[in-house]
Amino acid sequence: MNDLVYERVQSYLARLNLSRIADHLDLLAEEAGKGQWTYLEFLDRLLETELSARYAREVAMKTKLAHFPFVKTLDEFDFAFQPSINERQIRELATVRFVANSENVLLLGPPGVGKTHLAIALGVAAIAQSISVYFLTVADLLDMLHRDAQDDRLGQRLHTLAKPKLLILDEMGYFPLDRMAAQFLFQLVSRRYLKGSIILTSNKSYGDWGDIFADQVLAAAILDRLLHHSTTVNIRGHSYRLRDKRKAGVFSELPAPQKEQ
């Protein structure tokens, strides 16, 4: 490549926003020469370089926008520790077809069994497929709503939370929801119904949802919409957080049944 052509190519790449190709042009041109790549192979490598960099940038940006409290993947989940979980069902959910179908996922179980981990892992899988995700704890949602109500911004918040294709609502059930919060949640779930997905985690089974909501009718209406197109994963098992303490015998195990002599 003579200097003039090289300069022109770099300026075209800049104008076309092909910065990754610009960065790698020298190296790839050299490799192409050594490897005697065809013109088509060279073009293929250039475009692949640009696209993979764009994809990595997009995933990083979407991960940042998702506001995960931590990032964990399904590969980091030890299914052997939690035998009540059907690994195949979780792997199926990780194909993220449920988001394409605007279905919901409810992860229920006691503290420490991996509900948040799994919710985030499904969020990470969704982002890998270019799906927008937003993670929010119910406690943070309540804080937000009370501030929004004072600033007369509830409508705007509803609009914002209706946008991401996948909304993760973590830790439903630790705090009771007042009437305003329940009404907001009802509107949110209705707004997203058949249009977007929700992953909801809760330490309460559906039967106990009456304790979370002051208004039973509203609780039933929210559950009705959430559950209509949904998968529920009921996790029964020990807390992963406390596994070392269990091993150390901090918790007394149930006595083993006595064998009859």
Count of residues near Mg ion by CB under 5 A = 2
Taking the least distance from each CB to ligand ADP, the nearer of 110 and 210 is: 110
Q: Which residue in this structure is represented by tokens 């998968």?
A: 231
Q: State which of residues 82, 116, 137, 197 lies at the interface with Mg ion (CB under 5 A).
A: 116
Taking the least distance from each CB to ligand ADP, the nearer of 127 and 199 is: 199
Residue 66 contacts residue 133 (beta carbons within 8 Å) = yes
* Partner from ligand ADP, Mg ion, none binding residue 13, C-beta < 5-8 Å depending on class: none
117 contacts ligand ADP (rule: CB under 6 A): yes
Taking the least distance from each CB to ligand ADP, the nearer of 115 and 192 is: 115
Instruction: Calculate the alpha carbon distances from 261 to 7, 61, 258 in Å.
Output: 91, 66, 9
- Output the CA torsion sign for 92, 112, 140, 209: positive
113 contacts ligand ADP (rule: CB under 6 A): yes
Q: State which of residues 20, 62, 115, 165 lies at the interface with ligand ADP (CB under 6 A).
A: 115
174 contacts ligand ADP (rule: CB under 6 A): no
Taking CB under 6 A as the binding criterion, the range among 4-12, 115-123, 148-156, 186-194 that sits at the site for ligand ADP is: 115-123
104 contacts Mg ion (rule: CB under 5 A): no
Taking CB under 6 A as the binding criterion, the range among 37-45, 69-77, 192-200, 248-256 that sits at the site for ligand ADP is: 69-77
82 contacts Mg ion (rule: CB under 5 A): no
197 contacts Mg ion (rule: CB under 5 A): no
Taking the least distance from each CB to Mg ion, the nearer of 49 and 116 is: 116
For ligand ADP, the binding residues (CB under 6 A) are 72, 76-78, 81-82, 109, 111-117, 240-241
For Mg ion, the binding residues (CB under 5 A) are 115-116
